[in-house]
Amino acid sequence: MEEILFTKEEQELIDLIKYFRDMVLINEETPPYNRLILQEEIDYLNSEITTIIQFAKGKTEYRKAKELEHYNKWNTKIDQKCPWCKKMVFSNALGEIKMDDGFTYSQYFCPSCHMNFEGSEPNNNNDMILFTEKFLAEMLKKGKGGRVNYEINGISFEQMKKRRANIEGLKEKVKKSMKENKEIEEANNEFMAYVLNELIRLRIAKKKFITENDIQE
Ligand SMILES: [Zn+2]
């Protein structure tokens, strides 16, 4: 079976709709006219469920990619030199921080000297593109002084040139995916607003239904 990733809200809404749908009872005693109305109600609730499933299905690939991106960001262990005590640290990111340059970096902890330090380059592609361009521009401007400065941070000019070549290709991809992601996010937000509205309405309806039936008993 094809896997569909639902958000917590979508799942709860589906459960609530099913709860109300299963309450609609049609049997031999139901008069034909009522039968029609009740069947319409069931059809409507079923179509609501289908809408949610279809939406989630269309977004599953994107949601999976996002989950993977998130997983990798926090679970990929890398080997790097602690800038304080110069010992090698093999660790995954424990946090992230936006620095003065406006880029976001992963944060690591050095078990030898018990200090936190930031990765030597941004932890996301969007920042990485600007970072590389800025780096190369500054290197050219400052000449050797600039180069030494960056090498202290553990990135060599040669590495950065190589990085840039890779990134040139990545740039178009990121641009494209940023545009696509933005469109997906917008559609997602719009749908989530609808899901939340329905959720609130049905939560209240269920609560009211349960309370009223408690009183009658
Ligand atoms: Zn250290």
E strands, the chain, are 78-81, 88-91, 95-98, 104-110, 115-118
Rounded to the nearest whole angstrom, what is the distance from the C-alpha of residue 116 to the centroid of ligand 1? Answer: 8
Rounded to the nearest whole angstrom, what is the distance from the C-alpha of residue 88 to the centroid of ligand 1? Answer: 8
Rounded to the nearest whole angstrom, what is the distance from the C-alpha of residue 93 to the centroid of ligand 1? Answer: 15
Listed residues: CB within 5 A of ion ligand 1 = 82, 84-85, 110, 112-113
* Burial environment of residue 52 by CB neighbours within 10 A (0 to 12, 13 to 18, 19 or more): buried
- Coil, helix or strand at residue 98: strand
Domain spans, the chain: 1-75, 76-123, 124-217
Distances (CA, A) of 105 to 11, 90, 121: 34, 16, 6
Mean pLDDT, the chain, whole residue set: 86
Rounded to the nearest whole angstrom, what is the distance from the C-alpha of residue 200 to the centroid of ligand 1? Answer: 51
Our measurement of the distance from residue 179's CA atom to the centroid of its chain's CA atoms, rounded to an integer in Å, reads 15
pLDDT in tens, 16-35: 999 999 988 888 888 888 88
pLDDT in tens, 157-210: 777 777 777 777 767 776 777 778 888 888 888 999 999 999 999 999 889 888
Higher pLDDT among residues 110 and 214, named by residue: 110
